[in-house]
Structures are given as C-alpha cells and as structure tokens.
Amino acid sequence: MDLEEWRNANGLLYRDVASRIGASSPSKARQYALGEAWPRPEQLDRILSACSGVELFSMHRRRLAWVRENRREIKRSVRTEPAEVERSA
C-alpha cells in the first residue's frame, strides 16, 4: 500500500497525514502521497514508521508512474546551461 492508498483507507486529510509524518505542510504530504516528490531518507523513515501498512516499494511504484505521466513537463522545466549547449555543438 502506498501513502495515498493508506490515507484514503484511513479517511484522512493531507493535513492529518502531514501532522502524523512530521511533514512541513499538507501540500508536502500531498506531494509525497501522489508521487510528485520523493521524501528524503529521514522523512521516508518517519512515513514508514508512522503509517502502518505503507510500503517503500509501493511508494516507489507510484513515484515512477507520476514521472512517466509527467515526463514531457519535467523535460521542459529542466534548463540547459549555455556552456553545455556549446560543448554539445
């Protein structure tokens, strides 16, 4: 079970999840739950400890799905430095 599935199964709001896992805001908890962001190791430990049933692999699978769905937007948001363009020419 990933964090979003866990949240839904427990009928919690993102602010409840944020409080439980010690996230800086409900929006950060939402990003973790939906796979928009990957938590740092210490945050990941808190998630796995505080949310019984949440599994690392399930969270990773959701993150990969989000990256695949948003690949084009991610590529557009990455800027190439001028020096890198000159080297590749």
- CATH number of the structural domain spanning residue 29: 1.10.260
78: helix, coil or strand?
coil
Confidence tier at 72 by pLDDT (50, 70, 90): confident
pLDDT at 11 over 80: yes
Query: How many alpha carbons fall within 13 Å on the CB side of residue 64?
Result: 6
26 in helix, strand or coil? helix
Report pTM: 0.80
Taking residues 15-22, what's their average pLDDT? 97
Per the document, the length of the chain is 89
Do the Cβ atoms of 34 and 66 come closer than 8 Å?
yes
Question: How does residue 79 score in pLDDT terms, banded at 50, 70 and 90?
Answer: low
What average pLDDT is seen over the chain? Answer: 89
Is 58 exposed, middle or buried (CB count within 10 Å of its CB: 0-12, 13-18, 19+)? Answer: middle
Query: Which structural domain, as residue segments, surrounds residue 53?
Result: 3-88
Number of domains in the chain: 1
pLDDT at residue 31 in the model? 97
Q: Residue range 51-57: average pLDDT? A: 97
